[in-house]
Amino acid sequence: MATGPTPRVTAMRYVQPLREGGSLPAVVDTEDGLYVVKFRGAGQGPKALVAELIVGLLAARLELPVPQLALVDLPAPFGRSEPDPEIQDLLRASHGMNVGLRYLDGAFNFDPTAAGDVVTRGFAARVVWLDALVTNPDRTHRNPNLLVWDRRPWLIDHGAALYVHHHWANATPEKARSPFPLVTNHVLLGWSDGLEEVDEAAAAAVGGGPLEEIVSGLPDELLTGPQFEAEGGPDVHRRRYYDHLTERLRAPRAFVTAAVEARERLRRTAPQRRAARR
């Protein structure tokens, strides 16, 4: 599935903050409509925005529903009239490029206790596979980071993934091939019947050329600044993301074996309601 270039839009109006998370994202109006914008000036910095882009684009390659991604430019005057000083400080620190996801009007939070009619086993398997690949700890029963919109579940909030990029100095090929132990907390683990079946096709869909296209498209503006400059320029970081994920994709994939084992342990100890077999 081709993803195409990530569109670039300009922020025109700050609509409202979303205070569910610690990073204070917001609904922002642009010339292309409403987006939920993650700001580079938030505590996690631009690396969280890079993770948002990489994981969202990988999800699209796996044909998983993700709100349309966009690069959102905040001009210098943006947000000056906001009365909240915390928001003003955040926007002032976020001038330039940020990342947005299309606002899904009317969407509601996913409830795992009533998910059988919107989650299929194939969907669950691909989501667990993706989150284990990118080491995403943030899709749990407490915080599923899934929205239901148009009777479909949509993946959101991937800024906590790829946490290796906070410690590149400690990264090695051996560590890159390691399992993802936090998959045991995944909200969809109990429904991921098809993990073994989707593994090879998923790896083929995102590895090699598709992965190279995704990382080569990461904009320089998000790969600069204090979080990055001490460890090399944009091209160095693009290569690190590519090499790390390529190692994780090399067969046999320990993260898949560990996820299957965790799923079977979960079923032995606490049988889960299965998703629809569609």
CB 152 within 8 A of CB 228: no
Alpha helices per DSSP H over 80-145: 85-92, 121-133
* Torsion from C-alpha of 213, 217, 222, 228, nearest 10 degrees: 50
Q: What mean pLDDT is reported for the chain?
A: 92
pLDDT at 3: 59
Domain ranges of the chain: 8-102, 110-146+160-269
The reported pLDDT for the residue numbered 17 is 93
pLDDT score of 1 = 41
Q: What is the pLDDT of residue 227?
A: 77
pLDDT 10s digit of each residue in the chain, 278 long? 445 689 999 999 999 999 766 679 999 999 999 999 999 999 889 999 999 999 999 999 999 999 999 999 999 989 888 899 999 999 999 999 999 999 999 999 999 887 668 999 999 999 999 999 999 999 999 999 999 999 999 999 999 999 999 999 899 999 999 999 999 999 999 999 989 999 999 999 999 999 999 999 999 999 988 878 777 899 999 999 999 999 999 999 999 999 999 999 999 987 555 454 44
CA distance 210 to 277: 29
Contact (Cβ atoms closer than 8 angstroms) between residue 68 and residue 100: no
Q: Record the pTM.
A: 0.93
Tokens representing 93 are: 């620190």
